[in-house]
Amino acid sequence: MNNPSTFGKEVLWAMLALALLIAVPYLTSSRIALDFVIRLASFGIFATSLNILVGYGGMVSFGHAMFFGGGAYAYGLLMQKAGVSIPVAMLGGVVFCALLGLAVGGICVKLKEIYFSFLTLAFQMLLHSVILSWSSLTGGDQGLTGGIPRPVFLGINLADATSLYWFSCVVGIVCLLLIRYILQSPYGYTLRMVRDNADRARFLGIDVWRVRLYAFVLASSFAGVGGMLMAMFVSGAFPEFTYWTMSGEAVFMIMMGGLHVFIGPIVGAALLLLFNDVITRTTEYHGLALGIIVLVFALGFKRGITDVVVQLFRSARGKGAQS
């Protein structure tokens, strides 16, 4: 269960990280660095939300991008068509993703292992097809064109690149803290119990379907926030946000960063973004090069980087205690 003092320390660490991130624009004028952190905030939330299902729930989803793209489109359409404020549009995007997650998850979480994985992929491709075919609303394969408005709210002007950077950092830190708090709550430990032994959890009176469904809805909602940050960054929403390759990238982030350490997906997101940026600038065969890198990580480490580091640290501590 949550220990108030432990979580308080985590909040302090998060505030320290936020302070360092806020200071970056004063230390460098490089737009590349600021843009990288904005994208990291978006994909970090996206990958961490998927790890709620994969690492903590034991449910490997191949269709998580439906919520990343769903959040981006819901936010963009509310801003373009309804002309609401940014906070209202973000709330609407979260509600849309939560309801979509409730509908999809209500069906998928009843299934096991590979059936769950491929059914989530099927729902994702269904949403992708709807986006492509409903061109009068979504813009079809061109996406939401014309830009997404960025009206000033509470004195914050997201049309300014530095303000957008600071806003993304705050949203990223807050979302990660919320996910951390949920996973360290009694519900989070119940989710782990269901992951480890669903039959025993049922014997103890736990509604396994409901626990998994809650995890699915939570993961969907946070993925939508990641998609909204990306929509703000690129000032649009595109069908690629809901394509199966986007879900694959989130899985790669978790594989490279680590399943069992909370910051693992964030580390994996940073690595994948860095590899993508470097490879696309150095070779036209970026898909092949990135695939080789992912293969090296999968075969060489056999787990994420943070998982390996934590295991080595614990082994060193164990040897030190014995000596």
pLDDT in tens, 105-143: 999 999 888 899 999 999 999 999 999 999 999 999 999
pLDDT of residue 320: 63
Kindly state whether residue 229 falls inside one of the protein's structural domains. Answer: yes
**175-195: average pLDDT:** 95
pLDDT, mean of residues 19-35 = 92
Q: Domain of residue 95: give its range.
A: 4-243
Residue 303's pLDDT band (boundaries 50, 70, 90)?
Answer: confident
Inform me whether the pLDDT recorded for 7 exceeds 80.
Answer: no
Which of 115, 93, 111, 113 lies closest to 45, judged by CA?
Answer: 93
Residue with the larger pLDDT of the pair 309 and 85: 85
Residue 22, in any domain of the structure: yes
Q: What is the pLDDT of residue 108?
A: 95
Best CA proximity match to 224, nearest among 95, 105, 71, 87: 71
Within a domain: 297: no
- The answer to whether residue 186 sits within a structural domain is yes
Pick 238 or 297 by higher pLDDT. Answer: 238
Q: Establish if 273 belongs to a structural domain.
A: no
Q: Is the pLDDT of residue 254 over 90?
A: yes
Please report whether residue 305 resides in a domain. no
* Structural domain count of the chain: 1
Whether 314 is in a domain gets the answer no
Residue 310 lies in a domain: no
Across 27-50, average pLDDT: 94
